[in-house]
Chains A and B, each alone.
Chain A
Amino acid sequence: MEGNMNLTLQVWRQKNSRTEGRMETYQLSGISEDMSFLEMFDVLNEQLVHEGKDPVSFDHDCREGICGACSMYINGRPHGPLQGVTTCQLHMRSFKDGDTIVVEPWRAQAFPVIKDLVTDRAAFDRIISAGGYISVNTGNAQDANAIPVAKENADASFMAAACIGCGACVAACKNASAMLFTSAKISQLALLPQGEAERTARAKKMVAQMDEEGFGACTNTGACAAECPKGISMENIARMNREFFVAEIGTKD
């Protein structure tokens, strides 16, 4: 026993996409405040295995806040109470002894549950496939310094590119909209001269795919940006709307 926190966990359990899920309650003790939230789940799972019960499935990999795999909806907020932090970077020092913590998967029609806290986020990959790239085959490139890029544009592009594709924006939105995710990629490429040639086609194709996946509409509430662990800004949505608008006008003449 490493620490002295006692917790009550209420966790969504669902065997697979075909069965109904339900909340289960677990008691945990001996949690240390230096543990990460996922390490606390490791403790829970070891305990469940010990008791001969099925451990809780959850997505995770890097545990450094960069791969975007972890995706827990904690006490009604994607990635929990802190701002700018993924579930794996959340530490137990953000909770107190005696707390009850409710943990659910992302809820969105476009992200069906696979098991417990694991959802299927392949819709994001399909949005990228629709146009989230620059069409440059390997070997086609010119010297990297041939086209200077103003530092402020390069920096802004990087800020948009910092999106980790976790889906917290969708989970935070009451309409399960994927505008923040999609606009971050569109912005990244629109801000660079290299992305210029396909600019209009890109915006149209990505938005069309986003709609097809069943993500909801954006009502500019801003919950997405508020909950984004990487601080992706709402400005991207405005930029995407401009790009999309230009694309629509463009096709009319």
Chain B
Amino acid sequence: MATSPKLDAKIPDGPLETKWTKYRSTVPLVNPANKRSLEIIVIGTGLAGASAAATLAELGYKVKAFCFQDSPRRAHSIAAQGGINAAKNYQNDGDSVYRLFYDTIKGGDYRARESNVYRLAEVSGNIIDQCVAAGVPFAREYGGLLSNRSFGGTQVQRTFYAAGQTGQQLLLGAYSGLQRQVGAGNIAMYTRHEMLDVVMIDGKCRGIIARNLITGELERHFGHAVLICSGGYGNVFYLSTNAMGSNVTAAWKAHKKGAFFGNPCFTQIHPTCIPVSGDHQSKLTLMSESLRNDGRIWVPKKKDDNRPADQIPEDERDYYLERRYPAFGNLVPRDIASRAAKERCDAGYGVGTSKMAVYLDYYAAYERYGKGEVNKRGIHNASADQILQLGKAVVKEKYGNLFDMYKQITGEDPYQVPMRIYPAVHYTMGGLWVDYNLMTTVPGLYALGEANFSDHGANRLGASALMQGLADGYFVIPYTIGAYLASEIRTKAISTDHPAFVQAEKEVNDRITKLISIKGTKSPEAYHKELGKIMWDKCGMARNEQGLKEAIQEIRALKKEFWSNVKVMGDVDEFNPELDKANRVADFIELGELMCMDALDRNESCGGHFREEYQTEEGEAKRDDENYMYVSAWEYQGESQWELHKEELNYENIKIAQRSYK
């Protein structure tokens, strides 16, 4: 297999360890005076967008940033719970840049690009330094130094955290940097704005069309470069742990204007989420993976066992992760833990009324922590109950907000009964294809954070998305964008009266007018639900050829129906969430089709992509490195038409192996 001539990853030459250092000291620079006349548009102000916008503004570029929420502080990154990885080796447990790199490549089931991942591991430490300096109150030990925890798929403690609210604290840190630049007049912030198209002039990306969500007005914005930092597209499944507004629209518009879409089918299903409680369900809530550190996952050994958890004796419980994967136990990577839960539930061992759940049990942790406290405090003859209470207090300090959330949602007290959990759609490894510079296949158009496909291969390890978003924004794009902008210093700002802007705006306008004038019988929400069901059933945790082929037909039919029968209430020229939703659902439908095509193309199982036809006798994913060690990059060629380009993956620094956590 050879890489398609249309894909140049621009990986610097030389040994892995020196690529980035050498690149940084040789990449063309833009002098400060020229920076002031170069304009950069940033779509999205989550971790990736906020850190990029703030840093680029600090460097002197003129920045415009956009988000659809009423404030940049509300981006979906705010919801991240568990933590952020960095190869600091503060715990002296053998961590290193190489080990973080290795874990990430292996965790991604050997489907990520070595050079990018190594760079990610290299800058990971700087991220923590930066965040602490910006006032992020990470958890600390009594000595005043930073605390770490471990996360799935690794055997070292390299995860930094702030209770169960790490994303919130990191985002508020990046947001304060962003607001500082807004206050200084270096960033123009456009909240409640949705990007609805990119504008291309002479083969380069030169701006965007955005809708002011309050007035409904369409606006044209010029930029020498545009960064898509719009997050992931997990909501294509309708139910996911993503925020309600998370969408693919910005990335999808970029895709339709020429940016290839990488590995669209690589979706992460997170093993520990609160199970669905009924048809009204609008979203699913994650219970952080960090809970697997201390919690033990089990189901009854007997099928259809209806006894309450506390009446099932120890020897009648099946701690199936510990049984199947003794080396990693409850800390196996997400894809493996998710499939194992599905396997047990499908086989009839599930718990709860729906039987589509497994237990996450903290009893052992209460006892262990309780005994620790008893020793620390020198309490003699502590009663079993006293130990339990002390243990619960420790757990409360570590995970209190998560336990409260569980109680609020389910009405059950997780300090008294084990939590019930089930896998749910959580993260999308796929996204816009980018080269080493984070540039898409469209010159001047970049993608950062979850919106790109880059670092996580076929499965992301926990606590790596926050790291990647901030790496891209704080430490990568500020350098790599110079490679492009250095040759743009002579490009004067282009008037937004240019025919390309006029045309792009007209297209957006036509589409909106069309949506609102269909006046059919079903709400955008109803179509979203239908799409989600097709995707979950046929392109979810397990996929097969027949199901995927059916799904493609069903999605095409759904698309046809949507465009002739959707009912969008309200008007174009006003605040209209129904219209916003319709716009997003229309794009999700198109994306869904591509995801199924991608899943169908990949005749192997790897990471989160599990094709039932390709598994080992023990039910583990069976990769096919000979034929599928590539990134799929899909080029849009017209309605329901794509061409597949392949980027061959070369592993020069890692010996590829069958992934084993046994």
Contact = CB atoms under 8 A, between A and B. Distances in A.
Given A141-B134, A188-B135, 16 more contacts: A34-B277, A36-B282, A42-B280, A49-B578, A54-B570, A63-B243, A63-B282, A69-B69, A91-B409, A128-B73, A133-B179, A134-B135, A139-B126, A144-B132, A154-B140, A155-B140
Contacts of B658: none
Contacts of A137: 55, 58
B141 A93 contact: no
A80 interface: no
Contacts of A84: 404
A61 B523 contact: no
Interface string B635-661: 000000000000000000000000000
Nearest to B279: A2
A26 to B, nearest CB: 15
Contacts of B182: 125, 129
B313 interface: no
A157 B137 contact: yes
Given A49-B578, A129-B179, A124 B71 contact: yes
Contacts of B575: 16, 57, 114-115, 118
Contacts of A115: 574-575
Interface string A134-166: 111111111111001111001101100110110
Interface of A: 2, 15-16, 32, 34-36, 38-39, 42-43, 45-46, 48-50, 52-55, 57, 59-69, 84-85, 89, 91, 93, 114-115, 118, 120-122, 124-126, 128-130, 132-145, 148-151, 154-155, 157-158, 161-162, 164-165, 188-189, 192, 194-195
- Most chain A CB atoms below 10 A, which of B130, B134, B570: B134
B191 interface: yes
Nearest to B286: A64
A122 B525 contact: no
A39 B280 contact: yes
Nearest to A118: B575
A144 B128 contact: yes
Contact of B278 (A34, A141, A151): A34
B359 interface: no
Contacts of A129: 179-180, 182-183
21 contacts: A35-B278, A36-B282, A42-B282, A46-B525, A52-B569, A62-B76, A66-B79, A67-B74, A69-B74, A84-B404, A91-B411, A118-B70, A125-B71, A129-B180, A129-B182, A134-B133, A137-B55, A138-B51, A144-B132, A151-B144, A158-B162
B387 interface: no
Contact of A49 (B58, B70, B478, B567): B567
Given A134-B133, A150-B144, A57 B183 contact: no
A194 B131 CA distance: 11
B79 A154 contact: no
B135 A138 contact: no
A129 B182 CA distance: 7
B137 A192 contact: yes
Given A43-B280, A124-B71, A158-B162, A64 B285 contact: yes
Contacts of B404: 84
B489 interface: no
B71 A138 contact: no
A126 to B, nearest CB: 8
B168 A145 contact: no
B90 interface: yes
A154 B169 CA distance: 12
A36 to B, nearest CB: 7
| Across the A-B interface, the 4 shortest Cβ-Cβ residue pairs | A148-B144, A129-B183, A133-B176, A141-B133
A216 B478 CA distance: 41
A49 B524 CA distance: 10
B578 A68 contact: no
B475 interface: yes
Contacts of B281: 39
A63 B281 CA distance: 11
A15 B214 CA distance: 11
Contact of B74 (A48, A61, A157): A61
Nearest to A85: B408
Contacts of A46: 523, 525-526
- Most chain B CB atoms below 10 A, which of A93, A121, A134, A150: A134
Nearest to B162: A158
Nearest to B56: A138
A194 B282 CA distance: 41
